[in-house]
């Protein structure tokens, strides 16, 4: 696997980048490029960080034929074989991408981000990214092309490192559910207010949170307004901070 080979020879690159790394963290944005189609488009991206699966969201996506890009961790894959089987049974809807092995923020300097301890070194970022990809391919899936780290924040040097491993980094333009901590009404409001070209981030791993119900309502509102849903691999897009180009 080419990415694994790059990982094994990447220590020298990591040391070089780490020596000049800025302490500032970046939270990249991602937009779809303008389309010639008259129908407005949005991309739904869902993080499966760990824990269980929100059946309200998964069922709504299948029943309403709404495509989504799902960012899965190795932790989630170990505990959610049934949900994974549903996603695999609908390849026309679901694109599975890399959210890391253990849901560790892909930042190569020491930080605490939303209460999560960052990887803290270039070698640890590499391990999180590569092991996350292997968790997918070892279960028979195609090699992921996109990566989104826990918290969706990065250092400039960790972005360069992840890109050197062959991944595009998935930012977003709308935080739909505030880490699944928002109420149903606010989540619905944010999602239903999406505009043409927006990339929505939300979560599919918190079945007891009210945000999941609000997400479903927001998505159905967009569909009722005539919006088309696309996956990241199906369209052209632009990310800030050198994350996609």
Q: Report the CATH number that the domain containing residue 158 is assigned in CATH.
A: 3.20.20.370
Tell me which residues of the chain have a pLDDT lower than 50: 1-22
pLDDT at res. 38: 87
- From residue 88, give the alpha-carbon distance in Å to each of 21, 64, 82, 84, 141: 39, 17, 10, 6, 9
Q: Which domain holds residue 165?
A: 2-22+29-234
Asked if residue 205 belongs to a domain, the reply is yes
Q: What is the structure's pLDDT at 37?
A: 83
Q: What pLDDT score does 24 carry?
A: 85
Residue 241 lies in a domain: no
Residue 36 lies in a domain: yes
pLDDT at 23: 62
Q: What angle do CA 63, 208, 202 make, to 5 degrees?
A: 60
Q: pTM to 2 decimals?
A: 0.90
Q: Considering its fold, how many domains does the chain have in total?
A: 1
CB 222 within 8 A of CB 42: yes
pLDDT of residue 1: 45
């Amino acid at each position: 696997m080419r990415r694994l080979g790059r990982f094994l020879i990447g220590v020298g690159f990591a040391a070089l980048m780490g020596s000049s790394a800025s302490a500032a963290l970046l939270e990249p944005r991602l937009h779809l490029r303008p389309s010639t189609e008259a129908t407005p488009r949005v991309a739904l991206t869902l993080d499966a960080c760990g824990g269980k699966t929100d059946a309200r969201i998964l069922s709504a996506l299948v029943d309403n034929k709404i495509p989504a890009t799902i960012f899965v961790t190795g932790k989630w894959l170990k505990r959610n074989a049934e949900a994974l089987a549903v996603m695999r049974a609908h390849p026309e809807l679901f694109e599975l991408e890399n959210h890391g092995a253990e849901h560790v923020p892909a930042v190569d300097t020491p930080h605490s981000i939303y209460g999560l301890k960052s990887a803290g070194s270039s070698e640890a970022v590499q391990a999180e990214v590569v092991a996350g990809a292997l968790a997918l391919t070892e279960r028979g899936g195609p090699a992921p092309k996109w990566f989104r780290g826990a918290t969706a924040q990065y250092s400039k040097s960790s972005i360069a490192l992840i890109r050197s491993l062959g991944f595009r980094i998935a930012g977003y333009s709308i935080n739909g559910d505030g880490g699944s901590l928002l109420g149903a009404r606010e989540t619905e409001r944010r999602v239903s207010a999406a505009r043409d070209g927006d990339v929505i981030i939300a979560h599919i791993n918190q079945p007891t949170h009210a945000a999941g119900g609000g997400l479903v309502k927001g998505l159905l509102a967009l569909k009722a307004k005539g919006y088309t849903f696309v996956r990241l691999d199906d369209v052209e897009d632009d990310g800030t901070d050198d994350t996609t180009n």
